[in-house]
Amino acid sequence: MAQSPAGGRGVAAITSFDNTVTPVLLVRASYAVSDNAEQNFDYAIGRPRNWKGIKLPLWTPSFNTNETDQACNPLPDTTPDLSEKVVLIRRGTCFFDDKITNAAARGAKYFMFYNNVPGYRSLEWDTVNATAIAIFEIQNM
């Protein structure tokens, strides 16, 4: 005699659940400032994801980590050619697409976002000629 509906012979046991935590695989990377020792950090890889073997200088529109609208508007004419740089941009207040489009207009192909709110998310873009996109938590630095 069955103890519960799923415990009987020839019956199907079906369940459903809503996951409250979305797992994210993180990649370990490192950076160095001038001749200082390398520091490790973890990031969530986006798509496109061609980061393998990349060693490029970092460029950011601002070193002010409180600036919430980094790259929300077209970058100024004084912006250098960004095609051989990793562009570091705060997540901030506008859409990722705006930030990517504005940096790509100056040649950017490698995008790294620092998240000013807890958590990681997957970033996928095919609207610009990006080579690699990633995001990391600022608390992780």
d(CA 47, CA 8): 47
**Domain spanning 25-140, CATH class:** alpha beta
The answer to whether the beta carbons of residues 60 and 82 sit under 8 Å apart is no
Other CB atoms within 10 A of residue 30 CB: 9
Task: Give the residues across from 29 on adjacent strands.
Answer: 41
pLDDT over 90 for what percent of the chain? 25
Domain boundaries, the chain: 25-140
Please write the tens of the pLDDT for every residue from 50-63: 878 888 899 999 98
Q: What's the pLDDT at 5? A: 61
pTM of the full structure: 0.73
The answer to whether the beta carbons of residues 141 and 41 sit under 8 Å apart is yes
Residue type, 71: A
